[in-house]
Structures are given as C-alpha cells and as structure tokens.
Structure 1
Amino acid sequence: MKSKPVIALVGNPNSGKSSLFNQLTGLRQKVGNFPGVTVDKKSGTAFLNGTTEVLIVDLPGVYSIYPKSLDEQVVTDILANPGHPDYPDVAVVVVDASNLNRNLLLFSQIQDLGVPVIMALNMLDIARQQQLEINAVRLSMQLGVPVVKINARVGEGLDLLKKAVEQQLSEPVVTSKLFFDPTQATVSPGLDMKGLISDVRENYRLDNNYVALQYLIQHDGFTFLDQPQRVRLDGLIDQYGFNELDFQAKETIGRYERIGEVAKEAVTNNRPLDQPTWSQRIDRILLHPFWGYAIFLTILLLIFQAIFAWAQPFVDGIDEGVAWINTTLHEQLPEGPLTDLLTDGIIAGVGGVVVFIPQIAFLFFLVSLLEESGYMSRVMVLMDRIMRQFGLNGRSVVPLISGVACAVPAIMATRSIGSWRERLITILVTPLMSCSARLPIYTILIALVVPEKTVLGFLNMQGLVMMGLYLLGLVAALVAAYVFKKLVKARDKGLFVMELPTYKWPRWNHVGITVWDSVKSFVWQAGRVIVAISIVLWVLASYGPGDDMEQAENRARQQYRSLPTEQIENRVASERLEASYAGRFGRILEPAIKPLGYDWKIGIALISSFAAREVFVGTIATIYSIGSADGENESTVRQKLASEVNPETGGPMYTPAVAFSLLVFYVFAMMCMSTIATVYRETKGWKWPLIQLGYMSVLAYVSAFLVYQLMK
C-alpha cells in the first residue's frame, strides 16, 4: 500500500525533466535504488495544493520504451508492471517543444501503456527562437490528454501542472483508443497478431494490448517475470512466428506517421530550412577538430587554476581555525586520555578533511556550470572520436568526468552504455580519474613542495601541477582501456547516439543544490569513516604492548637529556609513538615502502587510506599530533608536514621526491572500499574487482618507485 501518490517524471534526455524535478522537490530529495535493481533513483516529495503530498520519482531519460542500456530498462520495467512500488498514479511526460516529433514517440508509447499521463510542454522559449509556434490546445485535442505549458528552468507553469496532476489523481483519464494498436498491424503474411495478443492477455491477465506487446518484446529484461513465465512467452513467440525486431520497426514507422499528422495540426514552422540556429553556429567552433580540443583543454586549465586561486583564502582560514580550536581545547580541558582523543584523534583527523571543503565546492561548482550550460554534451561528442580508439565511446566520457567527483556514482553511470564490453572497460578504468577524495592529498602535498609562483604572468604553477595530475590519470585511463580492449572480447558492437541540447544560462539554484548535495555527501561519507578510523588510530598510537612505551620514554629522556626541554618532549612523544601498536605495525610495513621514500608513519596513513583515500591527510594529522609535544598543537596540517624531519638525513621528510612519489602513487592507487564494492555489484562477481585492484596497485607502486628514484 502506497503511503502517498507516486508521480513519475518521464522524458527524453535533455528535455528538462531533471530541472522540473528540482523545481518540484527543491531540497526534499534523496537518492536510492529502484526496488529489485541497482540503478540510481532520484525521488523527492512535493505538495500539490499545500496539503496533498506526493512522491516525485525521476525516471532515467530515454528516447523510447525499448531499452538499449540497464538504466533505460527501468522505465518499461516499472510502467508495464502495476505491481511495482514505483508504478505511477500519474506519469508526467516532459516534452521538448523545440523537437516535438521526436519527443512524441516516447510520449505516445507511454500513453498507450494505459498510465494516466500529462504532457508538460517545456522549452517553448527555445522553440520560439527557432520560429516554431505550438498550439497546446490543439495538441491536447489531438492526443486526448492534458497538455500544460511550463518552463522548467525558471519554474513557470508549475501551479497549472500541479492542478492537472491533482485532477488526474482524483479523476484519472486514460484514452481508450491506442496511438498504435498492435492488433491492427501486419508485418508478415500469416501472422495472427490478434490471436497472439489475445493469448498473452489471457495468460497474464492483462487489460491492455500494448502492454501485452511489451511482454512479447521485452520479457527477457522484465525483473517481475519469473523464468517459467518467460519460457511460456518464448513458446507463444515460436508458435505464432513473431519477430520482435521486425515488429519494432513497423511500430516506429506507424507511430511517426501518426505523429506527423498531430504535428501538422499543432505546430507552425516559420524558420527557413537553411537558416542555422545560434547553437549550431557555436557548435561549429566547439566541435571543430582542432579548436574544439583546444577550447576544452583551456577550460580544464581555468578550472584547476580557479581551484587554487579562489579557494586558498578559505582553506587557510579553516586550517588556522581548526588549529585554534585544537589549541584552545588543550588549554581549557583537563589533561587526560579523553582530551587527547578529542584533540589529537577526532579533531585532528576530521580537520584534515574539512579544510579542503572550499576546493571541493569550487570543483563541483565549475563542473556543474559546464553541465548546466549544455557544454558537457559537446564534450561527449568531441571525445567520442578519441574514445573509439581505446575501446570506449562518447558515453564513457560521462563516467570519466563524473569520476572527478566520485568513482562510485561514476561507475553506476556506466549503465547508460549499451555495449557490455565498452561498459566493462569504462568501469575498470574510471577509478584512475582523480576523484574529489584525492583532492586533499593533492593540495596539501603540492602546497608543500611547489612554489606559489606564476608562469607567463597569470598561470599559477600549483594549478598547473594539479592539472597535470588529473591529465596523468586521464592518460593512464586511456592506456589501460586500450589494453583491456585487446583482452576483453566483444559480445556486441557499441553505438553512440547523442542529442545536443541548446546552450542555456546556468540555473543558479540548481547549481547551488548540486554543490550543496555533493559537499554534504562528501563530508558525511568521509566524516563517518574518518571519525571511526581516527578513534581506532588514536588508540593504536596511544597504547602499546606491555610497558614498551614507558621504556621508550625513559630511554629518550636519558639519551636526549642535554637538549632543551621542548625538544626533549618532542623526542619523547616520537619515541612513544614508535613503540605503540601503530608504530610497530608501521615498522613491519616500512621495508616494503622504503624504496618509495616513505617511512613507517606514511605507511600507517597508506594502510588506513584503503578505507577511503581522503583518510590519508586525516591520519597524517593524527599521527603527527600524537607524535609531537603538546606545545605543537597549534600547528596547521601543512605546518605539521613541513616541520616533519627525516631521522636519517636530518632534513625535511617531505622533499619534492617524496611528495611527488606520493602524488603519483595516489593518482593510480585503488584505495577505496566503496568503489571496490560498487564494481563487485555492477559486474556481479569478484573477478573484475580483483583484476582492477591488482593492476592499479602494481601501477601505483612501480610509478611511485620510479618517480622517487629519479628525483631523490
């Protein structure tokens, strides 16, 4: 029993469906999985008249109900199954008015499934720019359903849409005449479609001819049918000699014939055929074989310059604020284990990640601008020419670029890739893209060893190094994809079809929602892991076997008694840390990582960051807080790393050789349990996650070794 009515938003990609979803739900949104499948579901609540609360479900964007990928399968899987928890009481089909004919194909199919529908006629302003006039009243009369004019970008027409939804909920209207009736179509002589459809309806208790047709065509993909039901349908198909592909072609031709009649009555086209739109004029430059790539690289350069230049004042402020809080708590709270746990454990660990929120927010902000403007679709088309050479296609660009934020949703985004091989290869190489969890590591190490200078008078050197790391990840992903292209045999041939949306001004409220959700998700997910690891790490670093830590302290006080008091306390803290459980574990690991330039303290951070990469900085902050005297607690994270001394050389621990070795290691390392779990779920087994973990670990170790040995 549904707790509230379900309203499904359906539409073609780039029709404005997601914009309408954001307008209706605002921040009352959540992301989960559709019941029974591992495909992302965006849902949220909305109020129709101030009191009637409904659940809005944003279904994946599709061009028709015949799926070519996993996420597209969800649409028919829900709309053809009234027993599905997300089966809608009303389907709002968002239609791009500037491309009505193509959008009407999907609309007519959903209408024929027998779901109460409303057409939300969107992008009328763009249609007018293209000198197209659409008469919504005539369109409604032709289709026999409510048609509501909206502008999803700015929220116009939402009140009328809500009234139409409320009307459909109270008095559902479903057209009795099908747009396309399969019983009236003929494909091959002797095929008794009426008999076949009748048998399907009788066997499965269906009251709709078009739903019966979907059982015949898509039964292998329907999750709600069990194996005996699928076998029975296969028997009917063989009995009647039904050919699914031939019938789909017949249906599409028949629908477009009827769509042409509807459009002729409702649409007036005043634009000369040879007059290009302003979006087409811009595309001549942005999709140019040379200038298109040059502009894309320039945009990437500006993004990474901005991350350092704009975010640095905020980063410095938060860093100093965390150090001040730590010092104040040490002064105000009584000495003891709880105070040490709070300051040296939790605050030091969490502060090591919170300090990088400004840079992460700027990254999400700038990427969101590219998506909102319509430029990201051009990047997919542009990069398809290159991706094809490496066993990928243009749709692989979305997961790869999404991987800059987080590999988990990026890997799930591969469901839009129809080819099994191209999807698998994209999954295997996406974690090589530098995600936001690596950003704290990059920024702290780059700031330590790369001077804050400008090149050519305006290019920040730190920003150039940052961009170089991201490009290194991209190059590695392409090379790895090329290798997997040779190893993984193709089951099918991948196709890339992409509709280019018109260019638009970003909607700042949507950009704000995207940044807020992304940063909140990052902080919440990272925060939980870091707090847990920080507590465990503090315990391991504060206690040791037997009285080893006390003996280490006595030896240090005796050995360094001639030094000033402050230096003695620092030596004591360092010796106690080395004698702790964490120190002993780090010493065991040290021989394996010493060729990379790392000591046992860095080894502890490497191991802990297998839970999540961003834990590295928090662990280092915790280790160095415990490993120093109380008087050092006012130091910021960067100051702690800069003051760390290599006991063998007496110089700084974080030399350029060590820092760049760490940077390269984290560019390639597969250090994220959530990503491994996601790959396991998406590939339905441990084979590919283990292969991915293996090749990335070897690549990270060998690359870091070469960098350190060449630079030391």
Structure 2
Amino acid sequence: MKAPINIALVGNPNSGKSSLFNALTGLNQKVGNFPGVTVDKKTGSARISPTLEANIIDLPGTYSLYPKSADEFVTYDVLLHPEGTDRPDMIIIIADASNLKRNLLFCSQIIDLKMPVIIGLTMMDLAKKKGIEVDLAGLERELGVPVVAINPRKNKGLQPLKKNIELIAQEKFQSPAREFIDSRQLAPAVIDGVKAIFPVSSDYAALHVAANHEELPFIPANKQHDIRELLKAQNFNKTKVQADEIMQRYARIKHIMNGTVVETDPLQQQLQTERIDNILLHRVWGYVILLGVLFLMFQSIFWLASYPMDLIDGVFGSLGGWVSEVLPDNSWTDLLVNGIIAGIGGIVIFIPQIAILFGLITILEDTGYMARISFLTDRLMRQVGLNGKSVMPLISGVACAVPAIMAARNIENRKERLITIMITPLMSCSARLPVYTIMIALVVPDTPVFGVFNLQGLAMMVLYLLGFVMAFIVAAVMKLFIKIREKSYFIMELPVYRAPRWKNVGTTMVEKSKIFITDAGKVIMVISIILWFLASYGPSNRMEAVHQQYETQMAAVTDEETLTQLDREMQSAKLANSYAGIVGHAIEPVVKPLGYDWKIGIALITSFAAREVFVGTMATLYSVDAEESDATLREKMAAAKWSDGRPVYTLATGLSLMIFYAFAMQCMSTLAIVKRETKSWKYPIIQFVYMTLLAYVCSWAVYNIFQ
C-alpha cells in the first residue's frame, strides 16, 4: 500500500467544505493548532480506495488569495510554502454552484498555483431552485481540471470524487496544463527575479511572494532583503498589479460562464431563504424573534435537563448511602463515599445540561440562524466599539471562552478584536452552568409563569443576558481607553437556511459531554480528593481536643437523639478545625460581606482552576460534614446553617453568588489563551483584575439590596 497522500480542502466560507471534511473522514478526526498560531487545524484520515489512504487537511475558509485575517493567512501560508509540513499533494476546491461567479475567482487563483486540483461543486440543488444550470463537462473543459458535483450532507458524489483523487495519485492527471490568465505579463521582470531568489511552484506563486513576502514566515531574512531590493529596483506597484489581475480573472470568468452556465432572470426568483430573511432580519420583529429564540433555548436547558439530573442526583445519593452501610467505617470508606463518589456525582449530574446546550447551539449554526444573529446585532455592536463579527465569539463564549477568544482572530480590526477578547469571558460559559443550576434550585421557587414558562428557567435566561449587557458596558468603556485607530468594516455572507443534520447534532452532544467529563472531570476529581483530605484531617492537637471534648460528653449520655445531635456537632467541629476549615475561616472576613460562609470561600478559591469545581468542592465539604450520607447535595446545602441558626443559602446569598460567578474571571485556561492571543501578560492581568473587582462590587450590592 502506498504512503498516505496529503489533500487540502479549500473554499469560500459556507461553501460546504466542513461537510465534505466530515463526510470523508467520519470519526477519524483530530483538532490541533497550526505551528506558531492559535488557528484551529482540523485533520483527518480517509480511505480513498483499497490501496490508497489520504490525510485530509481542512484549511480555514477564504474568499481569495489576498488574505486579511489570521485564518486566511494560514491557508495562504500552507498553499504557498514550497516545503511546509502541511504541503498538500493535491487540492480539492469546494465551490458553491449557486454563487459560481464569486467562487470561480478563488478557483482560478488556486489553478494558477500549478498544483493538482479537483473542483467539487456543492449547492447544486440550490442552484437549480435559482434557475441555474451548470454544464459540468463544459466547465471542466474550460478550466482544465476535473469538476465533480457533490452533496456531502447526503453523501452524494463522493465516489466520483474519490475516483478522481485516485487518478491524480496515479499521475493520470497532472497539474493544470494551462494558466487561467497569463500571470507573467503582469510583472515579468519581478516574477523572473523572485523565481531566481526563492523556489516557487508557478509564475503566479512568484507574484504572490513579491506582493506579500514580508508576511510569509518561511522566507529567510536574507532572501527577504533580496526581494525588497528587487521590488524597489523594478518599482513594483502591488495594488495596481492586483487590480489588473482581478479584472482579467473576472473577464475570463464571464466568458466561461456565458458558455457553461444558464441562469434565468434573478428578478423572477424569490427563494424561500429570502422570504424567511424578510421576517427574521426585520428591523423590529427580528430582535423580538432573537430574544424569543434565546428565551426558549434557556427554558429548554433547564426544563429538559431537570428529569435526568434529578435521577442522577438521587442515584449517587443512594449509592453513597449504600456504600456507607456495606463497607466498614474507616478512612478508606470515607474517601470512597465523600471524596470519590461525591466528586463523580458532581461531574455526571451536569452532563444533561452540557449536552443540551451544545446541541441547541449546533442546531442554530446548522440551520444558518447563527450568522443572522451577527447581522442583526452589528448596529448595536458598533455603538460599543465592536462589529457584527464580535457576536460569534460572544455567542461561542456561552459554550466555552477558550475557543471563543480564538474565534476573535476573524475580526480584522485590531481594536475591535482586542475589546472582543477582553469582554468574551463575561459570557456565561457552560462551566458556570453547574453553579447557576444548583443555586437557582436552592433559592428560586419552581413556579409557573403565565402557566407555560418556569421561573427558574427565566432566572437562568436573565443570568445569561446579564453577561451580554455587562459585556456591552465594559466594551463601551474600553472603547474610550484603547487608542488604536483603524478602519472597520463588516462583510458576511449569509448561508441558506437548511434543516439541521441530526447526526451532527448528536455527535456534537456526545463529543462535548466527553470533553466535559475528561477535561473538567479530571480537575474536579483531583480537587475533590485533595479537599477530602484537607477537610478530614487537621493539626493533631486541634483534632484531638475536639475528639476528647465530644467523647467525654457522649460517654455521659444514653439518649439516642442526644447522641445523634452530639455526633453531628462533633463532625462539624472536626471540619471547622481541619486544614480546609482553618483556611476557610482565615478568608471568611473577606467573603462574609457578600453573604458567604467559609465553605463558599474555599469553593471560590478552588474555582480558579475551573468554575465547575465549585460543585465538586461543595459536594466534598458537605459530604464530610453531612449527617446522612444518602442525602443529595441540594438537600445538604439547603440544610446548611450559620452558627446562630440562620440558613446560609438565602435568596440574597444565592443571587450574590450567581452574580459573582457571572462576572468573575475564574478560569486559568482562559487567562492563558488571552496571553497567547495578545502576546502579552498585560491584557490577561487587566482582565483578571477588572473582572474580580466587578464581581465583588456587584455581588456586595446585590446581597445588600436583597438582604
């Protein structure tokens, strides 16, 4: 069997590139980063034929070979680097048949790089609805490369595509025999000079090296100098050459389309997508519908997940009680029940909500509505120093701030990108969901609203909207202080509406749940076990004093009820004098103005590893201190009291705690990715300080208002 070949997938955004990648690779995928940048690198393996395997690289979408964002520069670098590790043996260009003129511009540029190329035409069904008919054989003849109609969402056209890949691999097809346009006549002396200095695949590649050599990291410094001298000597005008090139390409594209594409009068066509957009993008109703979609989304998260969560909570409570009864009463049993089982329960219980959240987000993306949200909010975003592209990172932040901050690299304007990075962690990510869920269940009554909705679901939505509102306020302030002057524009292609791919939704729900279990779960388990130790042991003199005090009292009592009460008091005294209790009481004066006791203070500290650790911390501390091992965590927290008998978790405390978690920067991973994206510790430090102060002040205010 031959060694695997490298195939790069390229194309305009929303052309179907990711769908083809998923169809070819299936589950054989992995995501990393391209060397030296934080841009996602999606790769996968595919079986092309019994004797041929391929490594598929899904390159970021781009409209042309004139890059403007970090994403587009990655594609540019991979295609031009003659000796790069990701250098493809062939390129599959995915082109939207319903927007063929625009897509052919990029196709023609790739063809002129003189690398083996196959064009996969997608959206043929949509083109047909628009009254567009494409002569595939004629188009193939004009372009000089194979053209295959594909529908990766329905696995159509994949076999002809694989057959063409195999023929190219067998060298029955070569690189394009002729150039799309005569690149050489644009700047002959410059092209010859660049080819003499640096090895390139074609005249057109030499033209791009001349135009963008300073942004191409693979060109050595000495050759950069030689190219600069060459361009100065030839008086090379990059803008004029690019303008001439684009004019020639569109002239040739127009000629090709006249002979291969039949298109009815577009004025006679009114697609269903346009009719839906008239409603969903309406200046008034569009925003009403958007709020309705978000409202239903958060109602669903709370309502649908409540049944499996109650079941899981009950199962782990019963399991802890059963293990306590079956196993002997010793430290190992205590570790198993109050450390491991309580820790695992704190992880597993939130899987239903995590899965539902990501499933709903995937549906919004798959149907095409997520892009409309960006369009709708562009005007609002500009008022606070952002643009419509900032919405995608902000909405992605509802899932996780780390990839959301990385998604901000699509924003070309540096000031808008920096502000987006600085405010994205204010979005309520899925790690906050466990905290919100348990606190809402404790302090917000399960009351119907208008006979249909639920007060707890409304509270959840308000918390998420609060993140957006505070993000806009902070962005407006930062707009005044960040002094970067750069023109801003917002261009986005709205994809057509499509039915969601339920298989894709299901796969995303499973994969995200796995990531939550493995990534967050490992941290929660480790901290749960460490906390169990810190909460179960303490300085020997203090622990012995507690033990002797209560042993003496219990020896003089015969009444069963009094013995039970004394045993409960002894467990609480041991916890208060443990290592965890000593640390907690030391920090309690700082958090008490917010309505928190020392146990919540410990949870705030451990949450800086990951916010969801709050629940694991509570599960461990209250398990160690619990009277009944089979009680659920919610029941244990509801029964918690201050020393004077007042309940710990009142409405004021619950709201204060939710506000703190809504605004505080409690995620080391997010701080690390901000440092990588901004290439400075200055911004993550500012972010940490302003978010912590904001959380403390707002929580203090809420506690005092509702107390």
TM-score normalised by L of structure 1:
0.96
Which residue number in structure 2 is paired with residue 188 of structure 1? none
Identify the residue that residue 503 of structure 2 maps to in structure 1: 509
Alignment of 1:311-710 (within 5 A): 311-557=305-551, 564-629=562-627, 632-648=628-644, 650-710=645-705
Structure 2 unaligned residues grouped into runs of 5+: none
Change (3 A) 1:211 1:634: same
Partner SS state of residue 547, structure 1: helix
Alignment of 1:27-42 (within 5 A): 27-42=27-42
Q: Could you tell me how far apart the structure 1 residues matched to 2:224 and 2:334 are?
A: 63
The equivalent of 1:75 in structure 2 is: 75
- 1:184 to partner: Cα distance: 1.4
The alignment status of 1:248 with 2:242, answered yes or no, reads yes
Residue 114 of structure 1, CA deviation: 1.9
TM-aligned CA deviation for residue 556 of structure 1: 4.3
Classify 1:658/1:126 alpha carbon distance in 2 versus 1 (closer, same or farther; 3 Å).
same
Q: Is the 8 A contact 1:27 1:513 kept in 2?
A: no
Gaps of 5+ in 1: 186-192
Q: Secondary structure in 2 aligned to 1:48?
A: strand
Structure 1 residues 632-655: Cα deviation after superposition (integer angstroms, max 9, x where no partner) = 11111211211212223x132111
SS of 1:224's equivalent? Answer: coil
Work out the CA distance in 2 between the residues paired with 1:404 and 1:411.
11
Write the distance in 2 (CA, Å) between the matches of 1:272 and 1:38: 41
Per the TM alignment, residue 558 of structure 1 is displaced from its structure 2 partner at its CA by: 5.1
Q: What one-letter code is carried by the residue in structure 2 that aligns with 1:263?
A: M
Alignment correspondent of 2:302: 308
Q: Give the Å deviation of 1:51.
A: 4.8
> For each residue in 1:560-607, what CA deviation from the matched residue of structure 2 results, as whole angstroms up to 9, or x when unmatched?
876622222221111111111111111111111010011111111100
Rate the CA distance shift 1:576–1:485 in 2: closer, same or farther, 3 A. same
Match of 2:49 in 1: 49
- Provide the aligned C-alpha RMSD in A: 1.6
Report SS of the residue matched to 1:273.
helix
Structural mapping, 1:126-275, within 5 Å: 126-171=126-171, 172-185=173-186, 193-275=187-269
- Maintained 8 Å contact 1:148/1:157: yes
CA contact (8 A) 2:113 2:201 kept: no
**TM-superposed deviation, 1:137:** 1.0
Larger deviation: 253-262 or 297-306? 253-262
1: distance between equivalents of 2:331 and 2:240? Answer: 75
Shift of 1:50: 4.1
Q: Closer, same or farther in 2 for the Cα pair 1:262/1:656, shift >3 Å?
A: same
Q: 1:272, CA displacement in angstroms?
A: 4.1
CA 1:598–1:51: 2 relative to 1, 3 Å? farther
Tell me, in whole angstroms, the C-alpha distance in 1 between the residues paired with 2:30 and 2:45: 9
- 1:10 equivalent in structure 2: 10
Measured after TM superposition, the shift of residue 660 of structure 1 is 0.4
CA distance in 1, matches of 2:212, 2:341: 54
Is the CA contact (8 Å cut-off) linking 1:550 and 1:576 kept in structure 2?
no
Residues of 2 paired with 1:342 and 1:258: CA distance? 73
Task: State the one-letter code of the partner of 1:594.
Answer: K
| Contact 2:8–2:58, Cα closer than 8 Å, also in 1 | yes
Structure 1 residue 443, shift from structure 2 partner: 0.7
Give, as a single letter, the amino acid of the residue that structure 2 aligns with 1:217.
A
Q: Distance in 1 between matches of 2:482 and 2:315?
A: 51
Residue aligned with 2:570, SS? helix
What per-residue deviation string (whole Å, max 9, x for no partner) do you get for residues 9-44 of structure 1? Answer: 111110011111111122221110012322111111
Partner SS state of residue 540, structure 2: coil
Tell me, in whole angstroms, the C-alpha distance in 1 between the residues paired with 2:326 and 2:107: 66
Assess, with a 3 A threshold, how the Cα gap between structure 1 residues 115 and 343 changes in structure 2: closer, same or farther: farther
Quick one: structure 1 residues 463 and 3, their matched pair in 2 at CA, closer, same or farther if it must change by over 3 Å? Answer: farther
- What's the offset of the Cα at 1:115? 2.0
Q: CA deviation at 1:3?
A: 6.2
2:190 and 2:210 in contact (8 A); partners too: no
The structural deviation recorded for 1:663 is 0.3
* Contact map agreement 1:132 1:271 (CA 8 A) in 2: no
Structure 2: which amino acid aligns with 1:176?
A: A
Query: After alignment, is 274-283 or 374-383 more displaced?
Result: 274-283
Q: CA deviation at 1:503?
A: 0.6
Return the alpha-carbon distance in structure 2 between the equivalents of residues 428 and 368 of structure 1: 25
Deviation at 1:700, TM superposition (A): 0.3
Q: Distance in 2 between matches of 1:491 and 1:227?
A: 30
CA distance in 2, matches of 1:115, 1:568: 81
The structure-2 alpha-carbon separation of the partners of 1:194 and 1:445, relative to structure 1 and needing over 3 Å to count, comes to same
Specify the code of the residue in structure 2 equivalent to 1:244. Answer: K
Q: TM-score, normalised by structure 2?
A: 0.97
Q: In 1, Cα distance between the equivalents of 2:4 and 2:434?
A: 42
The CA distance in 2 between the partners of 1:321 and 1:82, in whole Å, is 59
Question: Which amino acid in structure 2 is aligned with residue 175 of structure 1?
Answer: P
1:69-102 CA-partner distances (Å, limit 9, x unpaired): 1111000100101311111112111111100011
Go from structure 1 to structure 2 and tell me whether the alpha carbon gap of 1:142 and 1:444 turns closer, same or farther (over 3 Å shift). same
Q: Distance in 1 between matches of 2:333 and 2:65?
A: 60
* 1:683 CA drift (Å): 0.4
Alpha-carbon distance in structure 1 between the residues aligned to 2:3 and 2:508: 28
Equivalent residue of 2:395, what SS? helix
Rounded Cα–Cα distance in structure 2 between residues aligned with 1:366 and 1:205: 49
- Give 3-state SS (helix, strand or coil) of 2:643's partner: coil
One-letter amino acid of the counterpart of residue 576, structure 1: K
Distance in 1 of aligned mates of 2:7 and 2:285 = 44
Counterpart amino acid of 2:48? L
Which secondary structure state, in structure 1, belongs to the residue aligned with residue 214 of structure 2? coil
CA contact (8 A) 2:82 2:201 kept: no
| Matched residue type, 1:295 | I
- What is the Cα deviation at residue 153 of structure 1? 1.4
Read off the aligned partner of 2:430 and give its amino acid letter.
Answer: S
User: Alpha-carbon deviation of 1:557?
Assistant: 4.8
Give the AA of the match of 1:585: V
- Distance in 2, matches of 1:226 and 1:635, equals 67
- Tell me the alpha carbon deviations over residues 303-333 of structure 1, each in whole angstroms, 9 at most, x when there is no partner: 1111111111111111111222222322333
Q: Secondary structure at the match of 2:295?
A: helix
Larger deviation, residues 20-29 vs 284-293: 20-29
In 2, distance between residues paired with 1:676 and 1:336? 41
For the 8 Å contact 1:557–1:568, the answer to whether it is kept is no
**3-state SS, counterpart of residue 133 of structure 1:** strand
Residues 197, 227 of structure 2: 8 Å contact kept: no
